[in-house]
Amino acid sequence: MDLLALLGKLAEYPAKMVRVSIMNTNLKVLIKACQRMGVDYKIYHKDRNMVEVLGKNNSYLFINFTTPLHSHGVARLCEDKDYFYSFFKDVINMPRSRAFVNPHTDPKYFQGQKEKTIAEILTSISKEFQYPLIVKRNSGTTGNNVFKVNSKSELKEAIEAIFNINSKDFDRIAIAQDYLRIRTEYRAVYVNGELSFAYEKSIRGAKFQGNLSPLHWEGAKAILIEDGTLLAQIKQFCAPIFVKKMIGFCGLDIAIDENNQWWLIEANSSPAFAHIVADGGEDKVIEMYEGILTLLS
């Protein structure tokens, strides 16, 4: 991979992880939507990942992968996997999960947790879950520090990796979750409770490279969904989320398992579009941003 291509890939990661002097795909497509609609905008900062959209009576900031469609509370709800699960598990099918706080952190963060040592956390997880299971950090995207665990020794390694304060992927909360035998996985992108588009995270013919997130497999593809029946099924499955709480902008990760059971894995309040633009074109993403600009006008 040449330097320019590498910089392009790095730009798709959250800004808190890395910052490079290149505009990310989301904002490039936003600008195209502005240009098509005749909407004025300004670009800020040397990395060009801050765009101010200028309306008649107000202006709106799009920074990195975020949009101005959220309250801070809703964005935080989507970023925190444990909070999201606790809030929505009663209205949509989600894999059983439990959060564990690092016992070496400030005691105020785990006053309600009976496990006071790593060993006690490992024992509880082994009693409450069957192997294999998923262990992952509570925050963050891109599949970093997400593990398929097959034994107690692997469980110990996963928990210690997540709680490693010297790691860039450190989290003070680890999630243990039932393992799903997934047949197909989708990303559904919603604006103001309406499905904008969806795509399959296809790993057909792809090679696993150590990251469980499907689109990080070598040769994986984002395939835009055009089938009306499947889109209707996605809408029906996701609808209860927006009845309980409106989320202005999000990507929902949906899985169908080997028994044809539908599951919501998690939500992302600032989804990146590099994969779908690269594999499926930018038209649907431009249309989505045009819809957002219309909402803001």
Task: Tell whether 112 is covered by a domain.
Answer: yes
Residues 155 and 267 in one domain: no
Residue range 156-181: mean pLDDT, rounded = 93
Residue 3 binned pLDDT confidence (cut-offs 50, 70, 90): very low
- CA neighbor of 86 nearest in space, from 213, 245, 193, 198: 245
* Residue 72 pLDDT level (bands cut at 50, 70, 90): confident
Containing structural domain, residue 161: 96-178
Separation between Cα atoms, residue 81 and residue 134, nearest integer Å: 13
Q: Indicate if 157 and 189 belong to the same structural domain.
A: no
The pLDDT of 45-68, averaged and rounded, is: 91
Q: Name the amino acid, one letter, at 92.
A: I
Whether residue 172 is found in the same domain as residue 201: no
Indicate if 52 and 128 belong to the same structural domain.
no
Closest CA to 49 of 81, 18, 73: 18
Give the pTM: 0.87
Are 165 and 193 within one domain? no
Residue 103 within a domain: yes
The total number of structural domains that make up the chain: 3
CATH number, domain of 153, equals: 3.30.1490.20
Whether residue 276 lies inside any domain: the answer is no
Amino acid in the structure at residue 7:
L
